[in-house]
Amino acid sequence: MATLFTRIIQGEIPAEIVYQDDHVVAFRDINPQAPVHVLLVPRQEIPGVAQVPEDGDHRHLLNAARIVAEQLGLKDGYRLVINQGESAGQTVDHLHMHLLGGRDFTWPPG
Ligand code: 5GP
């Protein structure tokens, strides 16, 4: 069965797509944690970082993040987050990178 994010990528579930290429689709998070909160998702259904193959669409995530950050004018900086597994708060088992921007962030994260 297709993952939630594959269903978004295929247009079955609506989302505001801000970028897409042959490997990655980026859309606004439904529950934004910052003025800009975009999810970058490899088209390939990889459950998480723990399952990434040697080669695959995940290798294009950082390039897509840079392009989206430039497109959205995040000149002052931004944060990229990947939650892996339950203790990190991963809720969707399709690898995704959060791109957060438009406000200041603290460290360490919660
Ligand atoms: P995780 O907690 O797995 O790192 O991140 C999953 C993210 O997916 C959450 O930030 C959540 O708000 C977002 N999300 C869950 N369901 C949907 C949805 O149907 N549409 C969109 N655009 N985002 C979703």
Predicted confidence (pLDDT) per residue in 54-89, tens digit: 999 999 999 999 999 999 999 999 999 999 999 999
3-class SS of residue 99: strand
Decide whether any atom of ligand 1 lies within 6 Å of the 87 Cβ: no
- Distance between CA atoms of 5 and 48, rounded to whole angstroms? 13
Q: What is the mean pLDDT of the chain?
A: 98
101 CB-near residues (< 8 Å, 6+ apart) = 34, 35, 36, 69, 72, 74, 76, 77, 78, 79
| Partners of 39 in beta bridges | 27, 98
CB atoms within 10 A of CB 5: 22
Residue with tokens 């297709």: 2
96 has catalytic annotation: yes
Residue 29: predicted pLDDT: 99
- pLDDT for residue 105 is more than 90: yes
Give yes or no for residue 6 having a pLDDT over 90: yes
Structure tokens at 32: 């934004």
84 CB within 6 A, ligand 1: no
Give 29 Cα–ligand 1 centroid separation in angstroms: 6
83 lines ligand 1 (CB under 6 A): yes
pTM, rounded to two decimals? 0.98
Amino acid at 104: D
Q: 100 pLDDT band (50/70/90 cuts)?
A: very high
Percent of the chain beyond pLDDT 70?
100
pLDDT at 110 over 90: no
